[in-house]
A and B are shown apart, each in its own frame.
Chain A
Amino acid sequence: MSSLKIQIFRVGFMLAIFAIVATSLVAMTEANTREKISENERQALLKAINEIVDSKDYNNAILSDTLVITKNKLLGTKEDTTIYRARLDDKPVAAIFTSVAPNGYSGEIKLLIGVYFDGSIAGVRAINHKETPGLGDKINEQKSDWIRQFKGLSLTNPSESKWKVKKDGGHFDQFTGATITPRAVVSAVKKSLEYFNKNRDTLFEVTPDE
């Protein structure tokens, strides 16, 4: 073999060794952290749920009392999502589900919405969005209290025609310099309530344990 060929093989071999070592290290780390990470994520989800529905108000294992709902136009979801159901002594208390506002300023805004059995809102949180920092990101509950105002509201309070931002003649404040984001969130919350009212009984149906 020519010396060039030997050289190419040598370099290729070394590169392969580095790739194998690096990939194994990453794989080992992944295997060692997988359980801990999914536990952390469960805890984070539970914390998010308890921010919306007080943990004193229900006593079922909420993370396993779930139902998969297929993609839905009213919820704006394009894939199956999980709904978590809070019950107190087997009586339905609230449902917590994901809803997507498709028309944010920079793409989709993912919301976690909790609705009490009577159709009033337990709470809304923005869980994933790319809105402009300093403007649209005031929908984050850490950055402003705006998203907390939904608590206790329902489709009759304010009346259905008032489920808009003030600029559009509705009930809800927009932000200085940002109307699109609040408009998208208000409309998504309204549609989620419509979805809930339409499907309330099936949402709380108990699926028999397999």
Chain B
Amino acid sequence: MNNIYSTIIRDGLWKNNPALVQLLGLCPLLAVTNTMINGLGLGLATILTLVASNGLVSLLRKHIPDEARLPVFMLIIASIVTIIELSMNAWFHELYVILGIFIPLIVTNCAITGRAEAFASRNPVGPAIVDGLMMGLGFTAVLVVLGSMRELIGQGTLFSEAHLMFGEAARQFTIVVFDNYRGFLIALLPPGAFIGLGLIVALKNVIDARQKAKEAKTKSVLAEAVAG
């Protein structure tokens, strides 16, 4: 049992990361990551939806006709997103003003349909919810890293506009990394998103390749030791 969860956690955060490996949900990912706070905002909203949709799809999986499962997933996801949006607008209006623009974007995030199809519809509720949480966290991590990268290169700051999410007290969170920075526009514009994501994917592949080479080496050393 424990083993399942540790696999799910490793898959969501690294091995099968939705943004870096499955390359799902790129539309909202590329669109909003021009600052770190924006990335964090979309990430949080995505985690919430992913957990809710995975849980619900898994709960209903025995009743969903196989032939019509995709339209049913879409129905479930679109309803969840709409209900979350309306409820937030009514009861957490301040938060809605900040995250509101990200919520409709989530419907276009195919990572959510992807997880419903690949995992939640085939697994019990517990693992499905953990999968939603971990995939959401993995996605958020990439959003935050990409957002920080673009913000740092594009306008020389980090945590700018944190008050939009954490209230007025957070206004001084902003770290000006380079004084009098003239800005590097391309990082903030869409090409910067593609280039940035490409670099992160490449970095992940390098790390994985190194890891593999190391393992192979240990194995061959072991094999030699045994043979010797």
Contacts and interface: CB of A to CB of B under 8 A. Distances in A.
B28 to A, nearest CB: 14
A26 interface: yes
Nearest to B72: A18
A14 B68 contact: yes
Contacts of B68: 11-12, 14-15
A15 B74 CA distance: 11
Contacts of B185: 134-135, 177
Nearest to A40: B93
B145 interface: no
B67 A132 contact: no
A18 B154 CA distance: 46
Interface residues of B, number: 33
Contacts of A11: 65, 67-68
Contacts of B154: 134
Interface stretch (A30-38, A60-68, A111-119, A198-206): A30-38
A110 to B, nearest CB: 15
Contacts of A15: 65, 68, 71-72
Given A15-B65, A176-B183, A37 B89 contact: yes
A69 interface: no
Interface string B150-170: 000011000001011000000
Contact of B65 (A14, A134, A143): A14
A44 B182 contact: no
B90 A37 contact: yes
B49 to A, nearest CB: 15
B188 A134 contact: yes
B215 to A, nearest CB: 42
Contact of B82 (A10, A29, A142): A29
A137 to B, nearest CB: 10
Interface in A39-63: 40, 43-44
Interface residues of A, number: 29
Interface string B13-40: 0000000000000000000001100100
Contacts of A169: none
Q: Is the interface of A mostly helix, strand, loop or mixed?
A: helix
A148 to B, nearest CB: 16
A88 interface: no
Contact of A33 (B75, B89, B97, B164): B89
Contact of B188 (A10, A26, A135): A135
A36 B63 CA distance: 35
Contact of B79 (A26, A33, A44, A142): A26
Contacts of A14: 63-65, 68, 72
Interface string B49-86: 00000000000000111011001100110110011001
B164 to A, nearest CB: 7
B75 A142 contact: no
B189 A132 contact: yes
B161 A143 contact: yes
B7 interface: no
A132 to B, nearest CB: 7
B72 A36 contact: no
Contacts of B67: 7, 11
Given A15-B68, A29-B83, A40 B89 contact: yes
B182 A40 contact: no
A60 B161 CA distance: 35
Given A14-B63, A23-B79, 15 more contacts: A11-B67, A11-B68, A12-B68, A14-B64, A14-B68, A15-B65, A26-B83, A29-B82, A30-B86, A32-B90, A36-B91, A40-B90, A134-B188, A135-B185, A176-B182
Interface of B: 34-35, 38, 63-65, 67-68, 71-72, 75-76, 78-79, 82-83, 86-87, 89-91, 93, 97, 154-155, 161, 163-164, 182-183, 185, 188-189
